Structure 1
């Protein structure tokens, strides 16, 4: 697995990079060598946020944690990723994206029983209006929703705008 480090408002020390690499390397049994892991560390005042994303063949696992100490945030993020992978292990095996003989017990997950996946409890159909992302954000805010799906006016693609935890907005667009 290839690991990239990004420091926002901080210069990452080699000790932290080595520790993160060691902790992330336990996922090497699951992901191929072409998998990409990105570790983003952001420091703001007395808070340190560690975000790890692992991408392989269209599947993305992502976790984030904010703590006073960077190493504590790293521990929580790795634990959250292990939980996500443990929860989705059957999907991973079914999709044959993981070797079928991989034993997921190495993740040190507390709950060894299989967790039931959620199911779709409601389907809603609605007209997808053509608009700009700015118009979609305005519409989303007027509806007091956390996300809004629309058809982008220049490309005609279905896009989604969403409200981020930091109060800003994000835009999801299909990959070409």
Structure 2
């Protein structure tokens, strides 16, 4: 894997670089062909050490982020998150394409013992149906806060599209629009 490791408000020391590469190399065991480019951003904001990792692959983008008081703990946590993403995606691909030959299926090595555990984790336990009321983004944020959720699905009165507002980790809000 080619690692692109950069720092924002932090110097990337050789020890830090080696630690990142050692931890991320754990993920290579999941791939038939190693991912070509891995982008890692280390940053420090208000005493929180943030690690963002992006691994582009054919037909798939793996991305994880973690923030904590310790940079090494953040690196460990982000690698664990990526590992879970890979397992979940691999289980989904294996289940969906068992009978078909698919290029995504060839990205991952077989691990039969993990597949059954992951299938259990993907069980749908509840379905909700509701009518989307047209509203603007500000009203959607107010509705989300009133019901105490971290996201809210609504029909955007301006664009007539289905949108999602959500509360970000930094306390501000984000908007997801249809593409």
Give the TM-score, by structure 2 length. 0.70
**How far apart, CA to CA, are the structure 1 residues paired with 2:161 and 2:4?**
31
SS at match of 2:43: strand
**How far apart, CA to CA, are the structure 1 residues paired with 2:177 and 2:83?**
28
Q: 2:116 maps to what in 1?
A: 114
Write out aligned runs for 1:47-58 (5 A): 47-56=48-57
Q: 2:72 maps to what in 1?
A: 71
Offset of residue 160 of structure 1: 0.4
Unmatched segments (≥5 aa) in structure 1: 106-110
CA contact (8 A) 1:130 1:156 kept: yes
Q: 2:140 maps to what in 1?
A: 136
Write out aligned runs for 1:1-176 (5 A): 5=5, 7-13=7-13, 16-17=16-17, 19-27=19-27, 30=31, 37-56=38-57, 59-93=60-94, 94-95=96-97, 96=102, 97-99=104-106, 102-104=109-111, 112=114, 114-115=116-117, 116-175=120-179
Offset of residue 22 of structure 1: 4.9
SS at match of 2:121: coil
**How far apart, CA to CA, are the structure 2 residues paired with 1:79 and 1:159?**
30
| Deviation readout 1:88-138 (Å, 9 max, x if unpaired) | 422133453131772459xxxxx8573113322222221212222222112
CA contact (8 A) 2:32 2:106 kept: no
Unmatched segments (≥5 aa) in structure 2: none
Offset of residue 141 of structure 1: 1.3
Alignment coverage as a number of residue pairs: 170
What RMSD in Å do the two structures reach over aligned CA positions? Answer: 3.4
Higher helix share: 2
CA contact (8 A) 1:31 1:56 kept: no
